Structure 1
Amino acid sequence: MTVPGSGDEAIRLAEERAAATRERNLPQFTDMPIAGDTANLREGANLHDALLGVLPLVGVWRGEGEIVYPTIDGPFRFGQQITFAHDGRPFLVYEARSWLLNEAGEVIRPAAREQGFWRPQADDTIELLLTHATGIIELFYGKVRTQTSWEFETDAVVRTATAKDVKAAQRLYGIVNNGDLAYVEERAMVGQSMQPHASAQLKRVVG
Protein backbone atom coordinates (compact mmCIF):
# COMPACT_ATOMS: atom_id res chain seq x y z
CA MET A 1 0.00 0.00 0.00
CA THR A 2 1.38 3.43 -0.95
CA VAL A 3 0.91 6.53 1.17
CA PRO A 4 -0.14 9.77 -0.63
CA GLY A 5 2.81 12.17 -0.72
CA SER A 6 5.35 9.41 -0.16
CA GLY A 7 8.29 8.49 -2.36
CA ASP A 8 6.56 5.24 -3.28
CA GLU A 9 3.49 7.15 -4.43
CA ALA A 10 5.62 9.50 -6.55
CA ILE A 11 7.28 6.52 -8.24
CA ARG A 12 3.91 4.88 -8.85
CA LEU A 13 2.52 8.03 -10.44
CA ALA A 14 5.63 8.44 -12.61
CA GLU A 15 5.31 4.85 -13.85
CA GLU A 16 1.63 5.43 -14.57
CA ARG A 17 2.39 8.55 -16.62
CA ALA A 18 5.23 6.85 -18.47
CA ALA A 19 2.93 4.04 -19.59
CA ALA A 20 1.15 6.56 -21.81
CA THR A 21 4.12 8.72 -22.85
CA ARG A 22 7.23 6.52 -23.14
CA GLU A 23 6.44 5.32 -26.67
CA ARG A 24 5.77 8.82 -28.05
CA ASN A 25 8.25 11.26 -29.54
CA LEU A 26 8.48 14.10 -32.04
CA PRO A 27 7.77 13.23 -35.69
CA GLN A 28 11.04 12.17 -37.31
CA PHE A 29 12.40 12.58 -40.83
CA THR A 30 14.41 9.42 -41.49
CA ASP A 31 16.23 10.89 -44.50
CA MET A 32 18.01 13.72 -42.65
CA PRO A 33 21.84 13.41 -42.78
CA ILE A 34 22.13 14.55 -39.12
CA ALA A 35 20.45 13.49 -35.89
CA GLY A 36 16.93 14.76 -35.41
CA ASP A 37 15.60 16.38 -32.24
CA THR A 38 14.21 14.08 -29.57
CA ALA A 39 11.82 14.89 -26.74
CA ASN A 40 12.10 11.36 -25.34
CA LEU A 41 15.16 10.48 -23.26
CA ARG A 42 14.72 6.81 -24.22
CA GLU A 43 15.30 7.60 -27.91
CA GLY A 44 17.71 9.49 -30.14
CA ALA A 45 20.99 11.10 -29.17
CA ASN A 46 22.37 10.80 -25.66
CA LEU A 47 21.64 13.79 -23.46
CA HIS A 48 24.69 16.07 -23.18
CA ASP A 49 26.13 16.28 -19.66
CA ALA A 50 25.59 20.05 -19.67
CA LEU A 51 21.83 19.43 -19.74
CA LEU A 52 21.61 17.34 -16.57
CA GLY A 53 20.29 20.35 -14.64
CA VAL A 54 17.32 20.68 -17.03
CA LEU A 55 16.80 16.95 -17.70
CA PRO A 56 13.32 16.81 -16.06
CA LEU A 57 12.00 19.26 -18.67
CA VAL A 58 12.74 17.13 -21.74
CA GLY A 59 9.43 16.09 -23.28
CA VAL A 60 6.21 17.54 -24.62
CA TRP A 61 3.75 19.11 -22.16
CA ARG A 62 0.13 20.14 -22.71
CA GLY A 63 -2.47 21.82 -20.53
CA GLU A 64 -4.22 25.08 -19.69
CA GLY A 65 -3.41 28.43 -18.16
CA GLU A 66 -4.65 31.96 -17.57
CA ILE A 67 -3.62 35.39 -18.89
CA VAL A 68 -4.16 38.55 -16.83
CA TYR A 69 -2.93 42.15 -17.14
CA PRO A 70 -4.36 45.61 -16.38
CA THR A 71 -4.42 46.52 -20.08
CA ILE A 72 -6.51 43.53 -21.22
CA ASP A 73 -10.17 42.74 -20.58
CA GLY A 74 -9.40 39.43 -18.89
CA PRO A 75 -8.56 37.11 -17.37
CA PHE A 76 -8.54 34.73 -20.34
CA ARG A 77 -8.13 30.96 -20.41
CA PHE A 78 -5.69 29.43 -22.85
CA GLY A 79 -4.46 26.00 -23.88
CA GLN A 80 -0.78 25.42 -24.49
CA GLN A 81 1.76 22.89 -25.66
CA ILE A 82 5.43 23.27 -24.73
CA THR A 83 8.20 21.16 -26.25
CA PHE A 84 11.69 20.70 -24.80
CA ALA A 85 13.89 18.66 -27.15
CA HIS A 86 17.60 18.12 -27.83
CA ASP A 87 19.91 16.69 -30.50
CA GLY A 88 22.81 15.61 -28.27
CA ARG A 89 24.41 19.05 -28.09
CA PRO A 90 24.49 21.27 -24.95
CA PHE A 91 21.20 23.13 -25.45
CA LEU A 92 17.48 22.45 -25.33
CA VAL A 93 15.27 23.37 -28.28
CA TYR A 94 12.14 25.08 -26.93
CA GLU A 95 8.77 25.77 -28.56
CA ALA A 96 5.49 26.95 -27.06
CA ARG A 97 2.19 27.14 -28.93
CA SER A 98 -0.99 28.51 -27.36
CA TRP A 99 -4.68 28.84 -28.18
CA LEU A 100 -7.44 30.90 -26.56
CA LEU A 101 -10.33 29.05 -24.91
CA ASN A 102 -13.85 30.16 -24.06
CA GLU A 103 -15.54 29.50 -20.71
CA ALA A 104 -16.62 26.06 -21.90
CA GLY A 105 -13.03 25.13 -22.79
CA GLU A 106 -13.63 25.30 -26.54
CA VAL A 107 -10.91 26.66 -28.83
CA ILE A 108 -11.52 30.22 -30.05
CA ARG A 109 -8.36 30.78 -32.11
CA PRO A 110 -4.56 30.31 -32.12
CA ALA A 111 -2.72 32.62 -29.72
CA ALA A 112 0.88 33.28 -28.60
CA ARG A 113 3.74 31.38 -30.17
CA GLU A 114 7.42 31.44 -29.17
CA GLN A 115 10.58 29.53 -30.00
CA GLY A 116 14.09 29.51 -28.66
CA PHE A 117 16.95 27.76 -26.91
CA TRP A 118 17.89 26.99 -23.31
CA ARG A 119 21.70 27.12 -23.01
CA PRO A 120 23.09 25.93 -19.62
CA GLN A 121 26.56 27.25 -18.83
CA ALA A 122 29.48 25.94 -16.77
CA ASP A 123 28.81 28.45 -13.95
CA ASP A 124 25.26 27.02 -13.50
CA THR A 125 23.57 29.96 -15.20
CA ILE A 126 21.18 29.34 -18.09
CA GLU A 127 20.93 31.56 -21.14
CA LEU A 128 17.41 31.57 -22.58
CA LEU A 129 16.87 33.05 -26.03
CA LEU A 130 13.23 33.52 -27.08
CA THR A 131 11.66 34.81 -30.29
CA HIS A 132 7.96 35.66 -30.27
CA ALA A 133 5.72 35.68 -33.34
CA THR A 134 4.58 39.17 -32.23
CA GLY A 135 7.95 40.73 -33.14
CA ILE A 136 9.74 40.51 -29.78
CA ILE A 137 13.14 38.92 -29.08
CA GLU A 138 14.13 38.36 -25.45
CA LEU A 139 17.39 37.31 -23.81
CA PHE A 140 16.87 35.89 -20.32
CA TYR A 141 19.49 34.84 -17.79
CA GLY A 142 18.48 32.26 -15.24
CA LYS A 143 19.58 29.59 -12.84
CA VAL A 144 18.63 26.23 -11.44
CA ARG A 145 16.84 26.88 -8.12
CA THR A 146 16.34 23.22 -7.17
CA GLN A 147 16.48 19.91 -9.04
CA THR A 148 12.99 20.67 -10.36
CA SER A 149 12.70 24.47 -10.59
CA TRP A 150 14.30 27.20 -12.72
CA GLU A 151 13.97 31.00 -12.66
CA PHE A 152 14.79 33.66 -15.26
CA GLU A 153 14.76 37.41 -15.84
CA THR A 154 15.39 39.38 -19.00
CA ASP A 155 18.73 41.00 -19.69
CA ALA A 156 17.64 42.49 -23.03
CA VAL A 157 14.43 42.92 -25.02
CA VAL A 158 14.44 43.83 -28.73
CA ARG A 159 11.22 44.82 -30.52
CA THR A 160 10.21 45.45 -34.11
CA ALA A 161 8.50 48.74 -34.92
CA THR A 162 5.07 47.05 -34.80
CA ALA A 163 5.57 45.03 -31.60
CA LYS A 164 4.04 45.70 -28.19
CA ASP A 165 6.09 47.86 -25.82
CA VAL A 166 7.70 45.23 -23.57
CA LYS A 167 10.37 46.43 -21.12
CA ALA A 168 11.20 43.30 -19.09
CA ALA A 169 9.95 39.87 -18.02
CA GLN A 170 10.52 37.24 -15.36
CA ARG A 171 9.66 33.52 -15.42
CA LEU A 172 9.62 30.68 -12.91
CA TYR A 173 9.27 27.06 -14.08
CA GLY A 174 8.85 24.01 -11.85
CA ILE A 175 7.89 20.35 -11.81
CA VAL A 176 5.16 20.17 -9.16
CA ASN A 177 4.31 17.29 -6.82
CA ASN A 178 2.07 15.42 -9.26
CA GLY A 179 4.71 15.54 -12.01
CA ASP A 180 3.11 18.38 -13.98
CA LEU A 181 5.10 21.30 -15.40
CA ALA A 182 3.92 24.63 -13.99
CA TYR A 183 5.15 28.15 -14.65
CA VAL A 184 4.36 31.76 -13.87
CA GLU A 185 5.41 34.79 -15.89
CA GLU A 186 5.53 38.46 -14.93
CA ARG A 187 5.92 41.30 -17.42
CA ALA A 188 6.55 45.03 -17.46
CA MET A 189 4.94 46.34 -20.64
CA VAL A 190 2.74 49.03 -22.17
CA GLY A 191 3.51 51.45 -19.35
CA GLN A 192 2.83 49.00 -16.50
CA SER A 193 5.21 47.89 -13.75
CA MET A 194 6.39 44.28 -13.40
CA GLN A 195 3.37 42.12 -12.47
CA PRO A 196 1.73 38.73 -13.16
CA HIS A 197 0.78 38.09 -16.78
CA ALA A 198 0.54 34.35 -17.49
CA SER A 199 0.54 31.05 -15.64
CA ALA A 200 -0.15 27.45 -16.66
CA GLN A 201 -0.01 23.86 -15.52
CA LEU A 202 0.81 21.23 -18.16
CA LYS A 203 0.86 17.43 -18.19
CA ARG A 204 3.51 15.37 -19.93
CA VAL A 205 2.28 13.85 -23.20
CA VAL A 206 5.65 12.72 -24.65
CA GLY A 207 8.76 11.33 -23.00
Structure 2
Amino acid sequence: MSDATELPVPDTVDVRSGPEVSEELLAVLPLLGEWHGEGQAAGAEGDHRFGQWIRFSHDGRGFLAYESRTWRLTDDGRIVGPQSRESGFWRPRGRDDVELLVVSSDGLLELYVGRARTTTSWELSSDVLARTPDAPDVARVVRLYGIVEGALMYAIDRAGADEPLRPTMSARLERIR
Protein backbone atom coordinates (compact mmCIF):
# COMPACT_ATOMS: atom_id res chain seq x y z
CA MET A 1 0.00 0.00 0.00
CA SER A 2 1.28 3.48 -0.84
CA ASP A 3 1.95 6.28 1.62
CA ALA A 4 -1.34 8.13 2.25
CA THR A 5 0.43 11.50 1.98
CA GLU A 6 1.46 10.91 -1.63
CA LEU A 7 -1.11 11.22 -4.39
CA PRO A 8 -0.76 9.01 -7.47
CA VAL A 9 -1.09 12.07 -9.76
CA PRO A 10 0.58 15.07 -8.14
CA ASP A 11 -0.18 18.70 -8.88
CA THR A 12 2.80 20.68 -10.08
CA VAL A 13 3.66 24.38 -10.07
CA ASP A 14 6.62 24.02 -12.42
CA VAL A 15 6.17 23.60 -16.19
CA ARG A 16 9.53 21.80 -16.35
CA SER A 17 8.37 18.89 -14.20
CA GLY A 18 5.27 16.75 -13.85
CA PRO A 19 2.64 16.28 -16.52
CA GLU A 20 2.68 18.12 -19.81
CA VAL A 21 0.91 21.48 -19.66
CA SER A 22 -2.38 21.48 -21.56
CA GLU A 23 -2.51 23.89 -24.50
CA GLU A 24 -5.80 25.15 -23.03
CA LEU A 25 -3.81 26.77 -20.19
CA LEU A 26 -1.94 29.26 -22.37
CA ALA A 27 -4.31 32.11 -21.35
CA VAL A 28 -3.45 31.64 -17.63
CA LEU A 29 -0.02 30.00 -17.78
CA PRO A 30 1.86 33.04 -16.34
CA LEU A 31 -0.01 32.50 -13.03
CA LEU A 32 1.42 29.00 -12.55
CA GLY A 33 3.55 28.79 -9.41
CA GLU A 34 3.62 29.85 -5.78
CA TRP A 35 3.42 33.48 -4.74
CA HIS A 36 3.95 35.21 -1.39
CA GLY A 37 3.59 38.80 -0.21
CA GLU A 38 1.49 41.38 1.57
CA GLY A 39 -1.62 43.40 0.94
CA GLN A 40 -4.21 45.75 2.36
CA ALA A 41 -7.81 44.81 3.21
CA ALA A 42 -10.92 46.74 4.20
CA GLY A 43 -13.52 45.05 6.33
CA ALA A 44 -15.99 45.33 9.19
CA GLU A 45 -13.03 45.47 11.61
CA GLY A 46 -11.46 48.34 9.65
CA ASP A 47 -8.53 48.52 7.25
CA HIS A 48 -5.60 46.23 7.96
CA ARG A 49 -2.50 44.64 6.46
CA PHE A 50 -2.36 40.96 5.62
CA GLY A 51 0.17 38.41 4.42
CA GLN A 52 -0.73 35.95 1.68
CA TRP A 53 0.43 32.75 0.00
CA ILE A 54 -1.14 31.68 -3.32
CA ARG A 55 -0.53 28.51 -5.30
CA PHE A 56 -1.60 27.92 -8.92
CA SER A 57 -0.93 24.32 -9.98
CA HIS A 58 -1.90 21.91 -12.74
CA ASP A 59 -2.19 18.17 -13.25
CA GLY A 60 -2.08 18.12 -17.05
CA ARG A 61 -5.75 18.92 -17.61
CA GLY A 62 -7.18 22.22 -18.92
CA PHE A 63 -7.50 24.13 -15.63
CA LEU A 64 -5.33 25.57 -12.87
CA ALA A 65 -6.04 24.61 -9.28
CA TYR A 66 -5.99 27.68 -7.02
CA GLU A 67 -5.31 27.85 -3.29
CA SER A 68 -4.90 30.97 -1.14
CA ARG A 69 -4.15 31.51 2.54
CA THR A 70 -4.06 34.87 4.28
CA TRP A 71 -3.04 35.95 7.75
CA ARG A 72 -3.64 39.24 9.51
CA LEU A 73 -0.66 41.50 10.22
CA THR A 74 -0.22 44.38 12.62
CA ASP A 75 0.89 47.77 11.29
CA ASP A 76 4.49 46.84 12.10
CA GLY A 77 4.24 43.49 10.25
CA ARG A 78 3.78 41.13 13.20
CA ILE A 79 1.54 38.11 12.48
CA VAL A 80 -1.68 38.23 14.49
CA GLY A 81 -3.24 35.00 13.24
CA PRO A 82 -4.93 33.29 10.30
CA GLN A 83 -7.47 35.20 8.26
CA SER A 84 -9.25 33.56 5.31
CA ARG A 85 -8.66 30.70 2.91
CA GLU A 86 -9.84 30.20 -0.65
CA SER A 87 -9.63 27.37 -3.11
CA GLY A 88 -10.93 26.92 -6.61
CA PHE A 89 -10.17 26.57 -10.28
CA TRP A 90 -9.16 28.87 -13.14
CA ARG A 91 -10.77 27.45 -16.29
CA PRO A 92 -9.71 28.99 -19.61
CA ARG A 93 -12.40 28.89 -22.30
CA GLY A 94 -11.04 29.61 -25.74
CA ARG A 95 -8.19 31.96 -26.39
CA ASP A 96 -9.08 34.82 -24.02
CA ASP A 97 -12.15 33.81 -21.98
CA VAL A 98 -11.63 32.63 -18.41
CA GLU A 99 -13.90 31.22 -15.70
CA LEU A 100 -12.92 31.27 -12.04
CA LEU A 101 -14.64 29.20 -9.36
CA VAL A 102 -13.78 30.12 -5.76
CA VAL A 103 -15.01 28.87 -2.40
CA SER A 104 -13.85 30.65 0.75
CA SER A 105 -13.71 29.91 4.45
CA ASP A 106 -15.93 32.99 4.91
CA GLY A 107 -18.88 31.01 3.51
CA LEU A 108 -18.89 32.43 -0.02
CA LEU A 109 -19.06 30.48 -3.25
CA GLU A 110 -18.19 32.66 -6.25
CA LEU A 111 -18.28 31.94 -9.97
CA TYR A 112 -16.62 34.53 -12.20
CA VAL A 113 -16.45 35.04 -15.94
CA GLY A 114 -13.90 37.25 -17.59
CA ARG A 115 -11.17 37.73 -20.12
CA ALA A 116 -7.45 37.84 -20.41
CA ARG A 117 -6.91 41.54 -21.16
CA THR A 118 -3.31 40.89 -22.18
CA THR A 119 -1.06 37.86 -21.84
CA THR A 120 -0.41 38.87 -18.21
CA SER A 121 -3.65 40.49 -16.96
CA TRP A 122 -7.14 39.19 -16.28
CA GLU A 123 -10.43 40.91 -15.41
CA LEU A 124 -13.23 38.83 -13.91
CA SER A 125 -16.75 39.73 -12.76
CA SER A 126 -19.02 37.65 -10.58
CA ASP A 127 -21.70 35.74 -12.47
CA VAL A 128 -23.06 33.64 -9.59
CA LEU A 129 -22.66 34.23 -5.85
CA ALA A 130 -23.93 31.93 -3.11
CA ARG A 131 -23.39 32.36 0.59
CA THR A 132 -24.06 30.75 3.92
CA PRO A 133 -26.35 32.65 6.33
CA ASP A 134 -23.42 34.11 8.28
CA ALA A 135 -21.25 35.00 5.27
CA PRO A 136 -20.66 38.62 4.27
CA ASP A 137 -23.52 40.21 2.31
CA VAL A 138 -22.01 40.27 -1.16
CA ALA A 139 -24.03 40.99 -4.31
CA ARG A 140 -21.28 41.66 -6.88
CA VAL A 141 -17.50 41.20 -7.08
CA VAL A 142 -14.84 42.23 -9.59
CA ARG A 143 -11.33 40.77 -9.50
CA LEU A 144 -8.38 42.19 -11.44
CA TYR A 145 -5.12 40.24 -11.64
CA GLY A 146 -1.92 41.21 -13.39
CA ILE A 147 1.73 40.38 -13.49
CA VAL A 148 3.72 43.61 -13.33
CA GLU A 149 7.53 43.56 -13.35
CA GLY A 150 7.44 39.89 -12.30
CA ALA A 151 5.08 40.41 -9.35
CA LEU A 152 1.48 39.18 -9.14
CA MET A 153 -0.75 42.11 -8.25
CA TYR A 154 -4.49 41.98 -7.74
CA ALA A 155 -7.45 44.00 -6.53
CA ILE A 156 -10.85 42.74 -5.40
CA ASP A 157 -13.84 45.10 -5.27
CA ARG A 158 -17.10 44.00 -3.64
CA ALA A 159 -20.62 45.42 -3.43
CA GLY A 160 -23.40 44.63 -1.00
CA ALA A 161 -27.05 44.38 -2.03
CA ASP A 162 -27.65 48.16 -1.92
CA GLU A 163 -24.05 49.35 -2.08
CA PRO A 164 -21.70 50.31 -4.92
CA LEU A 165 -18.48 48.41 -5.62
CA ARG A 166 -15.75 49.33 -3.16
CA PRO A 167 -12.13 48.19 -2.74
CA THR A 168 -11.90 45.17 -0.44
CA MET A 169 -8.46 43.62 -0.95
CA SER A 170 -5.32 44.28 -2.91
CA ALA A 171 -1.86 42.77 -2.75
CA ARG A 172 1.53 42.48 -4.38
CA LEU A 173 2.98 38.96 -4.34
CA GLU A 174 6.40 37.76 -5.46
CA ARG A 175 6.96 34.40 -7.12
CA ILE A 176 8.65 32.00 -4.69
CA ARG A 177 8.49 28.92 -6.91
So what's the TM-score if we normalise by structure 2? 0.93
Please state which structure has a larger fraction of its residues in helix.
Answer: 1
The total of aligned residue pairs comes to: 175
Q: CA 1:84–1:31 in structure 2 vs 1: closer, same or farther (change >3 Å)?
A: closer
Q: Which runs of 4+ in 1 moved over 6 A?
A: none
- Of the structure 1 ranges 182-191 and 47-56, higher mean CA displacement relative to structure 2 is found in 182-191
Give how far 1:102 is off. 0.3
The residue identity in structure 1 corresponding to 2:17 is E
Decide which of 62, 82, 87 is 2:59's aligned counterpart. 87
- Give the conservation status (yes or no) of the 8 Å contact 1:167–1:189: yes
So what's the TM-score if we normalise by structure 1? 0.80
- Match of residue 7 from structure 2: 32
Unaligned runs of 5+ in 1: 1-28
Q: What's the Cα RMSD here?
A: 1.7
2 CA distance for matches of 1:204 and 1:127? 23
Give how far 1:124 is off. 2.7
Q: CA 1:199–1:31 in structure 2 vs 1: closer, same or farther (change >3 Å)?
A: closer
Identity percentage of aligned residues: 46
- Match of residue 27 from structure 2: 53
Question: Looking at CA atoms only, which structure, 1 or 2, has the larger radius of gyration?
Answer: 1
Decide which of 8, 14, 38 is 1:64's aligned counterpart. 38
- Of the structure 1 ranges 142-151 and 182-191, higher mean CA displacement relative to structure 2 is found in 182-191
Please state which structure has a larger fraction of its residues in strand.
Answer: 2
Give how far 1:37 is off. 0.3
The residue identity in structure 2 corresponding to 1:43 is S
Decide which of 29, 32, 44 is 2:18's aligned counterpart. 44
